[in-house]
Structure 1
Amino acid sequence: MSIIQRSQQWGTFARIWHLYDAKWQDPYLSAERIKMYLMGLYKPIYHPLNDCGDHVVVINSYDIALRGDEWRRRAYFHHTGYHGGASWTMAWEVHKKNPTMIMNKAVYKSMKGNLQRRYSMQRLHIFKDENVPENIMQNISNQIKQLRPVPLRLDEIPPQEVAEFPKLVKYPENYIAQ
């Protein structure tokens, strides 16, 4: 076996660490993309009974964005196991208590029907902000592209760029807005 073939084989069977920035991303749409890496769906050796997935580190789960008014309408079910122990908790309350829980539940739900789901979820590492332990950051070798680009806020745009932006209408000096 040549050196090139050995490196291809090593790359196929190795567990790669991926980084995903969840800032301003929908967790349920992001979960579909993260699932591909956790289960190893993109690898040529994938099989439903084969555990060949990679590690995924998700950062900024505190800044996720649900569509429309899902913060008020989406509810999560929990049961304590005792009689009358069923409860429904709104998404904003769950996110306030644990900022990583919604992303965790979204990825778990996206892998429905997967026999290896329990073991795949052990390779998902979610952090509420950009503070990731150094030993995990040393392992990361790939970045998963975000679904939507994060827009700049107006106060983040430099004043020179704002001044150079082309104007559609040039108002006269004595113009008074009503």
Structure 2
Amino acid sequence: MNEQLTPTRVALKWGAFLGLSLILITSAMYLTGQTSNMWFNVLTLVTMVACLALAMREYKVSTGGYIAFGEGFGMGALLSAVAGLISAAFITFYNVFIDPSIQQRAFAQAREQLEEQGKLSDEQIDQALEFSQKFQSPGFTFIAGVFGTLIIGALLSLIIAAVIRRDKANPFD
């Protein structure tokens, strides 16, 4: 039986793959203590672009070389939502159960960086860190992770879908 490949099926498959890839990248970042290393952010972005492009390409090949902009964008948004749910669940679980002290270390590192810059007084640094601690609850971390991944993925999908799209000459075919 030859089943038709749907955008949803492709998005779910590649979303799970991206989510697991983001877990690996995050784990490597946490285990090496490199939470502020920009190369992990670059690696995350490259991985997202690659998964989005490969997913759209897979669907395009399965449809005989055609993919509409809307199909590509929708697939990319769904893929990003799935990846965001998976990676945000892992990050929340990690921060709550595996290493709850990671947030304290991140705040200590942020304090050091702000003090090195010398632009803020100690009182201003305390206020800034106190304000940011209000947004470190597990629920907020999860929601921010899902929506952050979704927004970045949707923006990337706009670009990739615009580049990869190829409409049929006759839309009624």
- What TM-score do the two structures reach when normalised by structure 1? 0.31
Which structure shows the higher strand fraction?
Answer: 1
The one of the two structures with greater contact order (alpha-carbon pairs below 8 A, sep at least 6) is 2
- What TM-score do the two structures reach when normalised by structure 2? 0.31
Q: Which has the larger radius of gyration?
A: 1
Which structure shows the higher helix fraction?
Answer: 2
